[in-house]
Structure formats: structure tokens, C-alpha cells
């Protein structure tokens, strides 16, 4: 659809799926390529969702041009994203996980075999095999371990080379290939090395292990990737399939897709509203919780709006369609989730940030090392120059650099899972400790989501049992959540419920019936006024209760108020403690809800929350998050409902309650399995600890290179005669990897101690 505003044509948007991107450098290459397509105005590529959002003019190259641009960069074009189509990214991810798993297993098996062969002198059962035969065998076995198992690294390095840049793939490919190439030279040309007085050692095991270990990190990261398309599918699944359309005085059941604006539709009890529209005739109550987050059903009368996918609870009504297809509120929410997810760029790994500088520097150092040792006036030789050249490349191999982040994230996410905190990948783990504002949804998140009787106030001449007995008698025929709460209270207090006669539900107001021969009423102030019942004596109390965030219903008998019942959606037991702990960490805490301002302020006051955003619809929830982000805040959204999904996706970190809806859970970055809000500050603490370990890992990985590379280049030789042969470089490389993994494992002890201190 082409939109126009003040004579200016706004660009259309199209979303496409792309497979094969692995880092921020890939994102930049794809974005630059797509921007070159004719008519393209803007491009936003999301690594996490494997999607590109392309804004274009009416006259442009088309989707086929986008596919060509993607393919020319070496990536796979998976098609255009459409609401009703299957997401091809899910299938591609499944294939990738399968491929990674197979290659990691094969790499691990080959690495073990190659290690045994490389250390032949350690194992008696291998002593009978001639050394040269063993070397030829290792040469053959290492080839698939490096070039097949590690094919994605070499492919990625070639893509980067074509763009005259580098990334982590370049580091891995160079390191592994250097070790393999040097070992192959030592295998086939041993005399060349012997002539320089150097034993021809081989490093086939190092080459294989480099590939296998880093590929294992990729596998762990791939498994932790969020299933973003699943949330969209769940939202689409809310759409009703058919509707009862009134045509020429008769009722016709037809697909929702065939409904046109202006059609009259009959909606029966228990059915979903098929499209957005306006009530024409009839009255009913609708469950709109999937849109508004409000647990209370909403009364609908002629002239009022109804929305697609909301559930009709009580009566039948006819409506006129005003919004169909992509113009419904539900479709709008689906688009918002897609756009929010697509606009959220992944956090670039610290290692990736320096890779583009690190690799060229290493190559330059290696080249300078070769030249110096080749042209030395006294001891210069090609063999010695080559050995030192390879030593620099081997010691600079990014095994420790590649393991620094994945191992810490693996331990951190594992600890989170043990604590009931599911973290979908390292991006959320990296981001959550940087938060400045935590925004909570109210209903079902801070509160239980179920109303309870909190107080019964009696008028003169009545007692609580009488008020509750009459109320329960009137409500026993109702399915309203407030009715269920009153009946539960009566059951808990063992109040006998009288029989009723002539029961009449008064939509939007309450109910009337004859109880023990007297006419009784239960409902809001409007019902009492309509039935000529004065509520003046209860006004002050009712207003005070309303200010506390409670819903008030009046109970009357024989045209006289006998009392009122206050109901409230009470806060969860863990809510106040969670808010206090977050504020203690220096974080700002806010609440956003579709509920009325009085109720919201009442709950917020109980919990110590000062910033309240009330009467906010789903679209506005996401806008409120973005407004905070525009002010420089790093925002987390905590929610549980479908209505929270756009805000969860728009936030820097989305946190879903595990007891909430599947859509909210899948749209979020973090899921709290336990319905315990203290898990929110725990997740922040875990993130801070994990990031501290990651920074330590990266520090030691870089220090190792800063110290090791000059030694490998021979800077100590003039002073001490020390040269670092490739075998020692490989040993140093292995040590750095072990130290990084050990430091990551130390996080378990650190986290355990923190939790023990918190519990005390």
C-alpha cells in the first residue's frame, strides 16, 4: 500500500530472509550491497533474526534484485517475509544446527585420533608404526578436520577478503591453515628444516583442535539463538478462521479473509471476533486481555468498538466490519513485533571489534619478522625466517580470543537456567547489566492477575455474612472474574448461598434477582442509580477504596444498600522485594499498564514505584519504551501477556514471566521460569558477573598475544639468544585457551558465593 502525506510519497517496505551471516561485518556487507539496488532508500539488517528490512521507492529493482545482491556477497537468499507464509529461517536454522552438530562430533573424533598420532611416542601401542607413515596419515586426517569441518571459517574469510576487510573467521582460518601448512611442509620437506638445525615438528593436532573448539562455540551460540519467528506464528494463530456474515437477511459462514469493510457479522457466545468493527445490535462482555492486558472483561453495547481475536463471553451481537486483513489491531501488533525485532541490532562482540585491526597487524608483524630474519647478515636464512613467520601466526591464533566470550556465556546461561532464568543467547547476557530503567507490566506480572475480595464494608443494620451471602447468591450464575472471586470468598468463609429466582444480567452494570423473596442487586454505581438506589452513605468509603486501586461493587436489597465489596488484583509476594533490590542497585523502576490510573497508582504505591504509565494500549507500550530509549536510557521490559510482546521486542532487553503467554516468552530475550520477580535482579547480577569474566578472558587473551607475538618474532634473541619455535608457540596458545576456560568455570564459584550472600 502506498501512503501519501502532503504530496510526498512515502517509501514502501519489504522484509527478506538471509542465511549465512555470522558477525557484524557480515551485516555491514549485506547492508552496503542492498543499498546499491536501484530505488532502495534505506536498509536495516538484523543478525539475530536473519532478516533485512528494505525501504524502497515505487520504482525499484524488485525483490529479485535484492536476491541477486545477497547472493553476490556469498550469502543465501531465503525469500520474502509474508504474514501467512512459513518462516524459511527456522528450516535454515534447523539445517545449520544439524550441520554444526555433525561437524563438531566429527571434528572432536578426528582431533582425538590426530592427537594420539601426533604424540605417538607417548603411547606404546603406536610405537610399531613408522614415523613417516604416521605423518602421512596425520596429513590426510587433518585435511577434512580443517577444510571440511572448518569450511564456514574459510568461506567467511574469503567473503571478508573480497570486501578488503577481516573478522573472526579470518583469524580462525589463518591460524588453522598456518599450523596445517607448516606441518605439511615439515612432513614432506623435513630436510629443509634440518638444514637450519631445527627439528621438523608437526602441529596437526593444534590445527584440528582450533577448528573444533571454536566451532563448538558457534554451535552453543546457535542453539541459544531466540526463535523470533515463533512469536509471530503464535500471533498469527490467534486469528479466527471463519465468521458468520449476514448477507441478504441470511447467515453465511465464510473465511475471515473474504470479509469486506461494511459487512455485517454475527458473533455468538464463545466465538472470537473475526475482524475489527463496531457493535450494531445486542450486548455482551468481551475478553480483551490479549490486546489490553486487562484481566477484567469489557462490556460492549451498540456503537462501541470491538477488535479481532478478542473472545465474546456472554451474549450474541451483530457488528459492522471497519478493519480487515492488515488493518486490524492484531495485525498491527504483529507488524510491531516484526519491526521491533528487526530494528534491534545485535551487540557486537568485543573480539569482533578488534579483529579487523588485529589480523592485519599480525600479518604485518609476521611479514616483517620473515624479512628481518631472511636478510640478517649473519644468521639469516629462508628456513629460519619461515619458522619465525609461522611461530608468529601460530601464537597469534585466536583460539583463546574465540573462546573468551562463548565459554563465559555458556557457564553464565547454565547458571541462569539452574536459577530459573532462561537467557536466549549472549546478547541479552551482555546487555542486561547495562540497564538503567526496568519497566514492569502490571496485571499478571507485578500482580497475580486474579481479583480477590480484599474488604467488605457494611451499611447500618447489616453484617459481612449477610452482604457476602446476598452477593454470592446473585453471582452464582455469572462467569465474570469478579463473580468468581466473590464465590471463592463465600466458599472460603463457608457462607451458604441462597437460591435465586428471576435472575437478570444487566450488561455492563451488574445483576438483579429475587433472593429469599426480596429483590436484590449487585453491581456498580450506574446500576444503583438506574434502579433508584441511593449510595450516598457509601460514597466516601467507595472513593477511598478506588484510590487504593480496588474495584468496588455495591450490594442492595429492597432498594437499600446493605454494603459494598472491594476487590483487588493483589501484588505478588515477590514484587516489593524485587523492586527494592532493583532500586538498591541504582536502577529506575517504572510501571506500564492498560489499567485505569487509580488502580495503577494504588498498586504502584504499595510497591514503591513512582513512575507510572497507565491506560496505555499495546502500541503505546512500545512507544513508551522507545521514548525512554530516546532519553538515553537502557530499558528492560518485564511482561507476561500477548499485549506486552511489542514492548518486549522493542526494549533493549525483554524479560518474560514463564507463567505468561507463549508469545510474550518467545518475543523476550530472557524468560523467568519461576513466577518470582526477584529473578530480575538475579539476572542483572549474573550478567554483571559474566561480563566481568568475559573482560578478564579478553584481557588475558590479548596480553598473551601482546607478550607472545614479540617473543615469537625474536625480540629477545639479541639479548638472550631465545627463539620461540612453533611447538612452543602452540603450547603457549594451548595454555592461553586452558586459562580462559578455567576462568570461565570460576564463574560458578563466584555466582554461588553471591547467591549465598544474598540469601543471608
The single residue of 441, 595, 644, 676 carrying the catalytic annotation is 441
500: closest CA among 519, 479, 528, 480? 519
Name the DSSP class of 325: G
For the chain, the straight-line distance linking the first and the last C-alpha, in angstroms and rounded, comes to 60
Closest alpha carbon to 402 in 221, 559, 564: 221
Write the CA distances from 495 to 471, 490, 558, 759, integer angstroms: 11, 5, 21, 42
Are 404 and 351 in contact by the 8 Å Cβ rule? The answer is yes
Query: Residues near 231 by Cβ (< 8 Å), separated by ≥ 6?
Result: 337, 645, 649, 662, 663, 666, 667
Q: Decide if 318 contacts 285 (C-beta within 8 A).
A: no
Question: CB count, 10 Å around CB of 248?
Answer: 5
* Beta strand pairing call for 317-323 and 276-282: antiparallel
Task: Please write down the HEC assignment for all residues of 39-55.
Answer: CEEEEEEECCCCEEEEE
**42: annotated active-site residue:** no
Rounded CA gap, 595 and 445, in Å? Answer: 13
Q: Edge-to-edge, what's the strand order for the sheet holding 40-46?
A: 40-46, 51-56, 12-19, 76-80
CB 461 within 8 A of CB 479: no
176 contacts 146 by C-beta, under 8 angstroms: yes
Q: Which residues of 90-121 are buried (b: 16+ CB within 10 A; e: fewer)?
A: bebbeebeeebeebbebbbebbebbbbbbebe
Calculate the CA 582 to chain-centre distance. 21
Residues sharing a CB contact under 8 Å with residue 476, sequence separation 6 or more, in sequence order: 483, 487, 497, 500
Nearest to 471 by CA among 486, 456, 489, 452: 486
| Contact assessment for residue 620 and residue 635, using Cβ atoms and an 8 Å cutoff | no
Q: Return the DSSP state at 403.
A: H
Positions annotated as catalytic residues are: 441
Amino acid at each position: 500500500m502506498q501512503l501519501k502525506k502532503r504530496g510526498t510519497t512515502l517509501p514502501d517496505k519489504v522484509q527478506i530472509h538471509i542465511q549465512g551471516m555470522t558477525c557484524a561485518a557480515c551485516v555491514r556487507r549485506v547492508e552496503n550491497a542492498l543499498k546499491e539496488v536501484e530505488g532502495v532508500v534505506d536498509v536495516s539488517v538484523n543478525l539475530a533474526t536473519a532478516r533485512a528490512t528494505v525501504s524502497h521507492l515505487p520504482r525499484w529493482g524488485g525483490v529479485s534484485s535484492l536476491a541477486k545482491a545477497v547472493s553476490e556477497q556469498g550469502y543465501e537468499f531465503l525469500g520474502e517475509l509474508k504474514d501467512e507464509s512459513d518462516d524459511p529461517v527456522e528450516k535454515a536454522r534447523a539445517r545449520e544446527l544439524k550441520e554444526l552438530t555433525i561437524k563438531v562430533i566429527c571434528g572432536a573424533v578426528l582431533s582425538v585420533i590426530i592427537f594420539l598420532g601426533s604424540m605417538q611416542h607417548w603411547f606404546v601401542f603406536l610405537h610399531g608404526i613408522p614415523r613417516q607413515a604416521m605423518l602421512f596419515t596425520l596429513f590426510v586426517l587433518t585435511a577434512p578436520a580443517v577444510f571440511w569441518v572448518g569450511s564456514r571459517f574459510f568461506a567467511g574469510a574469503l567473503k571478508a577478503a573480497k570486501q578488503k576487510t577481516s573478522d573472526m573467521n579470518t583469524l580462525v582460518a589463518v591460524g588453522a591453515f598456518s599450523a596445517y601448512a607448516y606441518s605439511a611442509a615439515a612432513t614432506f620437506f623435513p630436510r629443509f628444516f634440518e638444514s637450519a638445525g631445527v627439528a621438523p615438528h608437526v602441529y596437526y593436532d593444534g590445527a584440528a583442535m582450533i577448528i573444533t573448539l571454536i566451532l563448538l562455540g558457534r554451535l552453543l551460540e546457535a542453539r541459544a539463538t531466540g526463535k523470533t519467528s515463533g512469536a509471530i506464528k503464535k500471533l498469527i494463530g490467534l486469528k479466527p478462521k471463519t465468521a458468520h456474515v449476514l448477507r441478504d437477511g441470511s447467515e453465511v459462514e465464510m473465511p475471515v479473509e473474504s470479509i469486506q469493510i461494511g459487512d455485517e457479522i454475527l458473533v455468538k457466545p464463545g466465538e472470537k471476533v473475526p475482524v475489527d468493527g463496531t457493535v450494531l445490535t445486542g450486548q455482551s462482555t468481551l475478553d480483551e486481555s490479549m490486546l489490553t492486558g486487562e484481566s477484567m472483561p469489557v462490556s460492549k453495547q451498540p456503537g462501541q468498538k470491538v477488535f479481532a481475536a478478542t473472545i465474546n463471553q456472554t451474549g450474541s451481537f451483530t457488528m459492522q466490519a471497519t478493519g480487515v486483513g492488515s488493518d486490524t489491531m492484531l495485525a498491527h501488533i504483529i507488524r510491531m513485533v516484526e519491526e521491533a525485532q528487526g530494528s534491534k541490532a545485535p551487540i557486537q562482540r568485543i573480539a569482533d571489534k578488534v579483529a579487523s585491526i588485529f589480523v592485519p597487524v599480525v600479518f604485518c608483524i609476521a611479514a616483517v619478522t620473515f624479512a628481518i630474519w631472511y636478510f640478517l647478515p649473519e644468521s639469516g636464512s629462508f628456513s629460519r625466517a619461515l619458522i619465525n613467520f609461522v611461530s608468529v601466526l601460530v601464537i597469534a591464533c585466536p583460539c583463546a580470543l574465540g573462546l573468551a566470550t562463548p565459554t563465559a556465556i555458556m557457564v553464565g546461561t547454565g547458571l541462569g537456567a539452574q536459577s530459573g532464568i532462561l537467557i536466549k543467547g549472549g546478547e541479552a547476557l551482555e546487555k542486561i547489566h547495562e540497564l538503567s530503567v526496568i519497566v514492569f507490566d502490571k496485571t499478571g506480572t507485578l500482580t497475580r492477575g486474579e481479583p480477590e475480595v480484599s474488604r467488605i464494608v457494611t451499611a447500618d443494620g447489616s453484617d459481612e455474612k449477610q452482604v457476602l451471602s446476598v452477593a454470592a447468591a446473585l453471582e452464582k450464575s455469572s462467569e465474570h472474574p469478579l463473580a468468581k472471586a466473590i464465590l471463592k470468598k463465600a466458599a472460603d468463609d463457608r457462607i451458604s448461598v441462597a437460591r435465586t429466582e428471576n435472575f437478570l444480567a444487566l450488561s455492563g452494570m451488574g445483576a438483579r434477582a429475587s433472593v429469599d423473596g426480596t429483590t436484590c442487586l449487585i453491581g456498580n454505581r450506574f446500576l444503583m442509580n438506574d434502579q433508584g438506589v441511593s449510595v450516598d452513605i457509601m460514597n466516601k468509603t467507595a472513593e477511598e477504596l478506588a484510590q487504593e486501586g480496588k474495584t468496588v461493587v455495591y450490594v442492595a436489597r429492597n432498594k437499600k444498600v446493605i454494603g459494598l465489596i472491594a476487590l483487588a488484583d493483589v501484588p505478588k509476594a515477590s514484587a516489593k522485594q524485587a523492586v527494592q533490590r532493583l532500586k538498591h542497585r541504582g536502577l529506575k523502576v517504572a510501571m506500564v499498564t492498560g489499567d485505569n490510573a487509580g488502580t495503577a497508582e494504588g498498586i504502584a504505591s504499595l510497591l514503591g514505584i513512582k513512575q507510572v504509565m497507565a491506560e496505555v494500549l499495546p502500541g503505546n507500550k512500545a512507544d513508551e519504551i522507545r521514548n525512554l530509549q530516546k532519553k538515553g536510557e537502557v530499558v528492560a521490559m518485564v511482561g507476561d501477556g500477548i499485549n506486552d510482546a511489542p514492548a518486549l521486542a522493542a526494549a533493549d532487553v525483554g524479560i518474560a514471566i514463564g507463567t505468561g503467554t507463549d508469545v510474550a516468552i518467545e518475543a523476550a530475550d530472557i524468560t523467568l521460569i519461576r513466577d518470582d520477580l526477584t529473578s530480575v535482579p538475579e539476572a542483572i547480577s549474573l550478567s554483571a558477573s559474566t561480563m566481568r569474566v568475559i573482560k578478564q578472558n579478553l584481557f588475558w587473551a590479548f596480553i598473551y598475544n601482546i607478550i607472545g607475538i614479540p617473543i615469537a618474532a625474536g625480540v629477545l634473541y639479541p639479548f638472550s639468544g631465545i627463539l620461540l619455535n612453533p611447538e612452543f608457540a602452540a603450547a603457549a596458545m594451548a595454555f592461553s585457551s586452558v586459562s580462559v576456560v578455567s576462568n570461565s568455570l570460576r564463574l560458578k564459584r563466584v555466582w554461588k558465593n553471591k547467591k549465598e550472600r544474598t540469601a543471608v
